[in-house]
Structure 1
Amino acid sequence: MQPAASPSSVRPSRAQKSCAECRRRKQKCIPSAPGTPCNNCVKRWPPVPCIFPPQPAPKGAQHPSQRRVHVFSAKAPKVPVLPSQAVPTPKSIGGVLSSINCLQTTRIEATSRNNELMDFFIGYVSPNLVSIDGRDPPVVFRTLMLPWMLQSPLFPKIALLMASLAQIREMRHRPRNSTEPLLLKSKVLKMMNEAVAGTHDRSDIWRCVIHLVVVEWFWGDDGSMWAHLRGLRDLVASRGGLWALNDPLFQSVLILADYAIACCFERDLCVLEGKKSGAFLLPVPAEYSAYLASPVRAHTKTFTDLEELLVLPPDTAKLLDDIRALTVAIAEAAAQPTTTASRAQIQSTAAFIRERLKATEEKDLEELSSELSDDDRIARIIRLAAVIHTEAVIKLQPLTTIKMNRNVDVKLDRAIKVVASARWKRMPGVFLWIMLVAVAQPTSETIGDFDLGNEEDGRRRWLRRKLGAAAQAVGQEEFGLSIAYLRAFWLVHRWIDREGKQEDEEGEEGEHSERGNPERQE
């Protein structure tokens, strides 16, 4: 009788440690904790099953384990943990690039500068795109949007461009190579042109183009931004239109960007141009978190009801309710021809609100002292934004052309920066309205790509980035709600522009008729 084999003498068969997807892609599989997908599969987008082959039972085992195939869903992929707003320091060469280069992406040269830029993108740029204070990005972003961006074969180089521009614009960082942004931009455009000319997946290309639009809008050149946006419109049209695309996340981001940019410049929509833009809206939930409430759209609760939740003084809450009533009335009027009487009624409502604001105007225009609390500052900022908003309605002049006395617009921008971003994060819907008013103020023409010496240009770019973050902060909760907010404010722009032109035409007709009437001339 042969002795039983001891556990130490049992030699297991050679096990296959790679999952099926990594073997198919001929990648080195990096298993993670037992019972979870490997480190490669959790990053893949679209999600794929992570299937490990059955492991053979050890020889001589008394009770062989059953052969099992473990399939792990990657619907909620793991992504790098995004730190707070602190700027990440460069890591050893490899770092995050090792994880990205093992994917099916355009390979990035493993240099210390590229590693620094990619760390900066993941740690600072990407969370600040969707979070007002750059901290605690929403779960939707961490589990869907960031993998959706990084898993694109073309996107990593765009991420380097974003990081380089953000360091220069926001951190005043001067790279050793002063032409770094231009070199990165030329590489990105070359890469995009090659992809368009080749057999590359077009769905991936339009994801990259929308990010190029964002790059130019936040940090670059307005002319290039419009060129990219028109190119994206043509690309979408060639695929049968927006709703023919089988990419809900891209559709949401594109519609939101189209409305946000149209509000910023007070122009017609670009991608949805020539169509009934309302037909492309995403559904708005009947109920949503009260802290998302905004004065541009009706809500089941008034701001007076939300005083405690949003930490607002009673008079400020009443003001927001008045602004909401005015905005809702204009948005409804914008959908149909407006009579002279209805226009006068809307203007009188705006004038009533404006008259009430004169009581605190002197105090609001003073420089904010350090003794004031953030709650007091926010009350002043809301009043300043209401002054600008109502003036545009009363005078029927677009925000991008109206001339405000005593630099109200500049003082509004400075006041916004004084309040802690974490405080604005508690009321993203209100903050979005404030940014929509502030960002459309008169600005100088774009000087050129990546100019660093113009203070006005820097102020404008900062407002745009905060507007985008506010829209995304609401959108990460409910994309349909964020788009509805932007559309409501855009309708206010369109109504002011339309009625202003109509009033000018009526005035010209009145002058001509008066000149042609001999009795009036006498």
Structure 2
Amino acid sequence: MPSSQAKVLSKSTLYKLLSHHPIASRPKPPLVVDVREGPYSHLNPASIQDALYYLEDERSPTSSATSPSTSVATSATQPRTDLWLPYKIHSSPNGDDDDTIRQSVWTITARSTATAKLNYSKERVTEILGSQDYDERYNIIPPVDGSAVQLEYLPMKPTKLNKELVRIHLQLLSRFKCAVDGNPDPANEFMNFWIPCTLQDPLLLQIVLFTSSCWLSETRHFSKALQYAHKHQVYRMLNSQLTDQQAQTSDTLVLGVVQMIADSWYWGATHDLKAHLSGLRGMITLRGGLSQLGLRGYLAKMVLIHDIVMALAHEIKPSMYGHPGFEFRDSRAMPFNTAFNTPFISNWQSFKECSNSLQLHPSTAQILDDMRGLFSAILALPRNPSSEHVQRVLSTAQWFHERILNLPEDTPALQSPRPSHSSRASSVESPGSSAGSLRTDKSSSPSLLPDIMYRVIRKVALIYCKAILNRSPISSACSEEDIQVLWLSIWKSGLATWKSVLGIFAWVMIALVTNCHKIGPGRLIKTLTMSTMMSIGMENWDVFNHIAKTSFRLQRWLAGGRDDTNDLMGGEKVVDKYGFGMIDALPPVDIPADVESSEDI
């Protein structure tokens, strides 16, 4: 527990201490426009300025001087931008965002992981476990709940290894929290709440260290000893706060448990996942419901989104969503966003009508409209439908299935050569249209461009039709072989492509995630599904709520009243078996023999 001395420090004493901190006199951060390139381009500079300065304090002058992208201030009135651009991440010459993302992941992994490996070899796990007394000195910072205090320093033991783990969080892992393609808007309101919270609070920062260590263990850059050491620290801090009546239902503790639920689902043991989920239910009940949580409703959304995505992935009932005592409403009315158009929502603009704005081939739009009609027919069934009602739905599914099956595997030829009917192909030629662009040479003839989105949507539609015709769970209609083919197609078409059609992508991922729990890419599929739903839910809760309701009703109908045999499952065994699902996206990371003189470390 923190010392009594630390607890009674007055605000004036605290501010006096902070005023002598070296960060207090540092210049203002550069403007967002100045940091559009680089590993921090997805973050708001003002939100994490002090934390980044703290991380970069021990950068060697030689390393900074040799970087072609650095810009060190020459006076106290000029902003230092070298910490925002420790290395250059160039835009792809053909405007291909996905090439840039892949190169960014490669570069960040090579630099940060090499440095982390070096520091790990020096500091070792025993020092991490021996940092208990040191960490608790930092608990004098006011809680994050409603606090406007800017980040002044990181509440952790300032080892070089810990700093590299935070860098991996900021530069890489945080990118996919609420953005499918790893490129969130620096002005994203949720990210500007979440990132400072994870760095300011001691518990949340320890969870950041744990999450980064999980990823390094998954990529085989580290042994699991580091992961277990940070897990021990997280559990120690969790238990300490859970026994404190003032802290046991705080926003930061709830946020920490939600993150541990995600980490357990991705990398942890099943019993840990269930324990965290059960504990979260109890904390929210003690708090008085989801509506009592802070962070402008974002915390309540995080709780429900994680609960919903995991339940859909395992085709089970959610733990909180739809249960008494866990109601949540977002009163904010958001305008219609065409990118959120999805077959899960009836009575919206047809995909044929918005095919140009979404850059869909006419056949792709027709498939999506057919699937919307089929889902609507199922939703329209009475609670106890007659055999005639059910047969009518099955006949519709059979007709759609045969029509889609008769379509070619690749994009059919267009009946009309007019550009307005060739939305996706023409968009590649148009300089003013970038959303959903294919990873293809723009000099290619539009008629020769492959439409991988069409292939994916056609195959997923056949999976849904098969499940409906057999009235069996989606997981039984979506084989592991199907998932492997679809996953490679999704990756090949580029994540930026799917970010431009998030409503469609949610429909795709909900099918894939039901049967991904025992295959190599499973962790990445789960992460992308969560990221997709977070992106939609944080921006427009009404749309997300409709997607969730339709998905659960469809799964219940497909179950046909049969008892659920599925259950939640942590990802530890599968990750231990397969490692990182896209190993070709990572560079080999070796520590140079002459580590002390290496400028890359």
Give the alignment's TM-score, normalised by structure 2.
0.62
Higher relative contact order at CA 8 Å, sep ≥6: structure 1 or structure 2?
2
Following the alignment from structure 2 to structure 1, what is the Cα–Cα distance between the partners of residues 477 and 329?
30
1:352-501 equivalences under 5 Å are 352-360=399-407, 376-402=451-477, 404=479, 407-441=481-515, 443-444=517-518, 456=519, 458-498=520-560
2:398 equivalent in structure 1: 351
Return the match for 2:234 from 170, 177, 188: 188
1:145 equivalent in structure 2: 194
**Maintained 8 Å contact 2:177/2:534:** yes
2:36 equivalent in structure 1: none
Residue 322 (structure 1) shift = 1.2
Following the alignment from structure 1 to structure 2, what is the Cα–Cα distance between the partners of residues 132 and 357?
28
Letter matched to residue 398 of structure 1: P
Q: Cα deviation per residue 1:391-432 (whole Å; 9 max; x = unaligned)?
A: 11111111233465x933332222222211111111111111
Return the match for 2:303 from 254, 279, 297: 254
Letter matched to residue 538 of structure 2: Q
Letter matched to residue 400 of structure 1: S
Q: Cα deviation per residue 1:292-346 (whole Å; 9 max; x = unaligned)?
A: 2111113542110111111111011011111112223334548x33332222222
**Maintained 8 Å contact 2:473/2:559:** yes
Give the secondary structure class of the aligned counterpart of 1:154: helix
**Maintained 8 Å contact 1:327/1:489:** no
Letter matched to residue 461 of structure 1: R
**Maintained 8 Å contact 1:230/1:271:** no
**Maintained 8 Å contact 1:292/1:429:** yes
Residue 443 (structure 1) shift = 4.2
Residues 26 and 375 of structure 1, relative CA distance in 2, 3 Å threshold: farther
Q: Cα deviation per residue 1:484-515 (whole Å; 9 max; x = unaligned)?
A: 3233212211221135679xxxxxxxxxxxxx
2:124 equivalent in structure 1: none
User: Does residue 1:155 correspond to 2:229, yes or no?
Assistant: no
Following the alignment from structure 1 to structure 2, what is the Cα–Cα distance between the partners of residues 80 and 205?
30
Letter matched to residue 392 of structure 1: A
Residue 465 (structure 1) shift = 0.5
Residues 35 and 401 of structure 1, relative CA distance in 2, 3 Å threshold: closer
**Maintained 8 Å contact 1:43/1:151:** no
Following the alignment from structure 1 to structure 2, what is the Cα–Cα distance between the partners of residues 163 and 442?
23
Following the alignment from structure 1 to structure 2, what is the Cα–Cα distance between the partners of residues 421 and 225?
28
Letter matched to residue 504 of structure 2: V
Give the alignment's TM-score, normalised by structure 1.
0.71
2:221 equivalent in structure 1: 174
2:389 equivalent in structure 1: 342
Q: Extract unaligned runs of 5+ from structure 2.
A: 1-9, 31-43, 50-82, 90-100, 120-134, 144-153, 412-438, 565-601
Following the alignment from structure 2 to structure 1, what is the Cα–Cα distance between the partners of residues 448 and 202?
47
User: Does residue 1:227 correspond to 2:275, yes or no?
Assistant: yes
**Maintained 8 Å contact 1:104/1:153:** no
Residues 342 and 226 of structure 1, relative CA distance in 2, 3 Å threshold: farther
Residue 244 (structure 1) shift = 3.8
Following the alignment from structure 1 to structure 2, what is the Cα–Cα distance between the partners of residues 22 and 31?
18
Q: Extract unaligned runs of 5+ from structure 1.
A: 1-19, 45-78, 445-455, 503-522
Residues 124 and 35 of structure 1, relative CA distance in 2, 3 Å threshold: closer
Farther off after superposition, 101-110 or 289-298: 101-110
Task: Report percent identity of matched pairs.
Answer: 21
Following the alignment from structure 2 to structure 1, what is the Cα–Cα distance between the partners of residues 332 and 391?
31
Letter matched to residue 184 of structure 1: H
Greater C-alpha radius of gyration: 1
Residues 223 and 328 of structure 1, relative CA distance in 2, 3 Å threshold: farther
Give the secondary structure class of the aligned counterpart of 2:461: helix
Residue 111 (structure 1) shift = 1.5
**Maintained 8 Å contact 1:471/1:482:** yes
Q: Cα deviation per residue 1:179-207 (whole Å; 9 max; x = unaligned)?
A: 11111112111110111012452222111
Following the alignment from structure 1 to structure 2, what is the Cα–Cα distance between the partners of residues 186 and 383?
46
Following the alignment from structure 1 to structure 2, what is the Cα–Cα distance between the partners of residues 140 and 290?
20
Residue 374 (structure 1) shift = 7.4
How many residue pairs get aligned? The number is 420
Letter matched to residue 341 of structure 2: A
